Structure 1
Amino acid sequence: MPEKDLTLPDDIQDVVERALAEDIGDGDRNAALVDETLQASARVVVRENAILSGAPWFERSFKALDERVQIEWLSNDGERIRSNTTVCEIRGPVRALLTGERTALNFLQLLSGVATSTFEFVERVKGTNTQIIDTRKTLPGLRSAQRYAVRCGGGMNHRFGLFDAILIKENHIMAAGSIETAVSRARDSAAGQFVQVEIETLEELEQALEAGCDGVLLDNLASHVLARAVNMADAHRRRFRRDIVIEASGDINLRNVREIADTGVDRISIGGLTKHLRATDFSMRMHTD
């Protein structure tokens, strides 16, 4: 497995500020009940086995409220954490801890949930050369954060958006008139960008390969058909001495992902990593000094 790329996105501060504004509005009426000079300590405990992700978002949620908040992490993003263990200890003004608690935990539980789900898929395909990758099916405004969480779980990222790679889908082919025309126009309009074609039949695969695409997305094909598609793409690779990325997608779950990986596909894209969310259970317990 390649080393995890835990490079942080550059929009963390903006995302955190929007989340805090959503929760606080024109003021935290609850925290106002507490003496503003009071200091407190807290610890965050995970209630189930998981992969940790979201520490930078968690930390900035408190720092945006009060720079005096100090956090000591006992585990790092991308690491496995065990149920009922402490992941971090916090100290600072009690008002900041109370106000930031929900927003901070929301980030931690969401991103750890994504990382944990990704890890489960990655474990199922261990021993193959297949990568588990995400899709654009993300929560609006949280794409960069969720992509980071996928990497924490050992997965890889697909294109970020509509601007950094081209995926020619059924509707694009219909509008262009053919796979060949769609690929040709993609080359003309976005020279140098990765061009991938979504196909649903072996006939379409042959057309995509002949059109000279960089990759194919095999959508909802049975495993025996996927194996034939891989053989066709491999033959094309040898014949023209050029690489073709073979990706499978559609109705993929923990029960069938290994079978699909064993067909020899290069990568498997799973929208459920970022849209079928199950948050990891964390709790924060506070005590005053």
Structure 2
Amino acid sequence: MSTPAQPRPEPSSDAPAPRVPTRVEPGLDPAWVTETVARALDEDLGAAPGRDVTTQATVPSSATGTAHLVARADGVVAGLVVVEEVTRQVAERFGLPRVEVTFVASDGEAVGRGRVLAALTGPVQVLLTAERTLLNLASRASGVATATRAWARELAGTGAQVLDTRKTTPGLRALEKYAVRAGGGTNKRMGLYDVAMVKDNHVVAAGSVSAAIDAIRRTFPDVLVQVEADTTAQALEAVSAGADFLLLDNMPTPVLAETVAAVRALEGTDGVPAKVELEATGNLTLDRAREVAGTGVDYLSVGALTHSAPILDLALDLLPAPPSR
């Protein structure tokens, strides 16, 4: 049984850690995959072991066959790891033999319409029952990877990278952020627990940017602190107050360029880091990507990668049984 390749190798142990709050580990946690697939199957089959009333009534449990996982549109593949797990769990629930899966495409690979991604051979009951769940997950992940690849391709050579956000489908964040990596993007913080993000409401609650940053440093000294800024003045205030990096929100391109230049002029002075990471966000579109990157920001964060990407249309086609002799 072959295994789909992962989108990126892990960085070498002597590579410097990035200061931006990124997570670039290539794989998905197997325990997360198992739990997520189990919940998805419960939705479709009912509480375990569940049932597929159509398939189990019309297909003998002894029938075997082969199905092809096929791309019905051009795009970038991600989430193939779920295919084996979905078929494994369905076979286990029904007490049937496992499906053998042979992958002929890898996560992160650009594929054309009609491309076979994997061949699945085993009990037909398992193939048909597993179909929708594995397609839902793999199509969703591949759609995110496809959208991300468009941004990564547009930013190629600019020195800026595309980031995702927390605007993910509840319960599928790990899969969608994995898909961003497969598409050539970079993950931002995984949640509220790993990086501090000071927004306007936090400033109001704390009394000032400095007070908010100081409170975070005292309470959670191990985390990086990012501050949202809408103006050049706010950006300079945040840097002077000790922010590790800035989220420059909804700035017109000229203002963004002015802000980047002003922050760069402060780098390495009066306790300001030698390199302040700068991230543009808000009102970003693909046709503006290179223009925004040209201001000198390090990152463009795009919520649409996960909250608005259409699925990549995938299908599971059962092959006709060979004629009997």
Under a length normalisation based on structure 1, what TM-score does the superposition of the two structures give? Answer: 0.96
Using the TM superposition, give the Cα deviation of residue 241 of structure 1 relative to its aligned residue in structure 2, in angstroms: 4.8
Using the TM superposition, give the Cα deviation of residue 62 of structure 1 relative to its aligned residue in structure 2, in angstroms: 0.7
> Amino acid of the residue matched to residue 28 of structure 2?
L
CA RMSD of aligned residues (A): 1.4
Match of 2:142 in 1: 112
Using the TM superposition, give the Cα deviation of residue 31 of structure 1 relative to its aligned residue in structure 2, in angstroms: 1.6
Q: State the secondary structure of the residue aligned to 1:84.
A: coil
Q: State the secondary structure of the residue aligned to 1:259.
A: helix
Alpha-carbon distance between aligned partners in 2 of 1:30 and 1:102, rounded to the nearest angstrom: 14
> Amino acid of the residue matched to residue 255 of structure 1?
D
Match of 2:191 in 1: 161
Match of 2:277 in 1: 245
Match of 1:8 in 2: 28
Answer with 241-250 or 186-195: which moved more: 241-250
Alpha-carbon distance between aligned partners in 2 of 1:262 and 1:116, rounded to the nearest angstrom: 24
Alpha-carbon distance between aligned partners in 1 of 2:291 and 2:245, rounded to the nearest angstrom: 21
Match of 2:44 in 1: 23
> Amino acid of the residue matched to residue 55 of structure 2?
A
Match of 1:260 in 2: 292
Match of 2:224 in 1: 194
Match of 1:285 in 2: 317
Answer with 50-59 or 147-156: which moved more: 50-59
* 2:87 counterpart of 1:62: yes
Alpha-carbon distance between aligned partners in 2 of 1:178 and 1:15, rounded to the nearest angstrom: 41
Match of 1:85 in 2: 115
Answer with 64-73 or 183-192: which moved more: 64-73
Distance 1:201 1:168, change over 3 A: same
Deviations 1:160-212 (A, max 9, x none): 01110100011101111111111111111110211000011111111101101
Of the three residues 143, 157, 172, the one matched with 1:127 is: 157
Distance 1:208 1:42, change over 3 A: same
Q: State the secondary structure of the residue aligned to 1:158.
A: coil
Deviations 1:83-119 (A, max 9, x none): 1111111101011101100000111110000000000
Aligned-pair identity (%): 36
Using the TM superposition, give the Cα deviation of residue 30 of structure 1 relative to its aligned residue in structure 2, in angstroms: 1.2
Using the TM superposition, give the Cα deviation of residue 9 of structure 1 relative to its aligned residue in structure 2, in angstroms: 2.7
* 2:73 counterpart of 1:52: no
Alpha-carbon distance between aligned partners in 2 of 1:234 and 1:30, rounded to the nearest angstrom: 64
Q: State the secondary structure of the residue aligned to 2:90.
A: coil
Alpha-carbon distance between aligned partners in 1 of 2:255 and 2:230, rounded to the nearest angstrom: 10
Alpha-carbon distance between aligned partners in 1 of 2:216 and 2:263, rounded to the nearest angstrom: 21
Using the TM superposition, give the Cα deviation of residue 28 of structure 1 relative to its aligned residue in structure 2, in angstroms: 1.0
Match of 1:184 in 2: 214
Using the TM superposition, give the Cα deviation of residue 5 of structure 1 relative to its aligned residue in structure 2, in angstroms: 4.7
Match of 1:147 in 2: 177
> Amino acid of the residue matched to residue 29 of structure 1?
V
Alpha-carbon distance between aligned partners in 1 of 2:28 and 2:133, rounded to the nearest angstrom: 19
Residue pair 1:9, 1:148 contacting (<8 A) in 2 also: no
Alpha-carbon distance between aligned partners in 2 of 1:87 and 1:241, rounded to the nearest angstrom: 47
* 2:51 counterpart of 1:32: no
> Amino acid of the residue matched to residue 70 of structure 2?
V
Alpha-carbon distance between aligned partners in 2 of 1:202 and 1:262, rounded to the nearest angstrom: 17
Using the TM superposition, give the Cα deviation of residue 234 of structure 1 relative to its aligned residue in structure 2, in angstroms: 1.0
Using the TM superposition, give the Cα deviation of residue 228 of structure 1 relative to its aligned residue in structure 2, in angstroms: 1.1
> Amino acid of the residue matched to residue 31 of structure 1?
T
Under a length normalisation based on structure 2, what TM-score does the superposition of the two structures give? Answer: 0.86
Distance 1:6 1:241, change over 3 A: closer
Alpha-carbon distance between aligned partners in 2 of 1:269 and 1:231, rounded to the nearest angstrom: 20
Residue pair 2:244, 2:273 contacting (<8 A) in 1 also: no
Using the TM superposition, give the Cα deviation of residue 58 of structure 1 relative to its aligned residue in structure 2, in angstroms: 2.2
Deviations 1:13-45 (A, max 9, x none): 100110011011131101212100110101111
Deviations 1:260-280 (A, max 9, x none): 111110111111000002011
Alpha-carbon distance between aligned partners in 2 of 1:141 and 1:5, rounded to the nearest angstrom: 19
* 2:233 counterpart of 1:203: yes
Match of 2:3 in 1: none
- Stretches of structure 1 that go unaligned for 5 or more consecutive residues are none
Residue pair 1:42, 1:284 contacting (<8 A) in 2 also: yes
Match of 2:16 in 1: none
Residue pair 1:45, 1:282 contacting (<8 A) in 2 also: yes
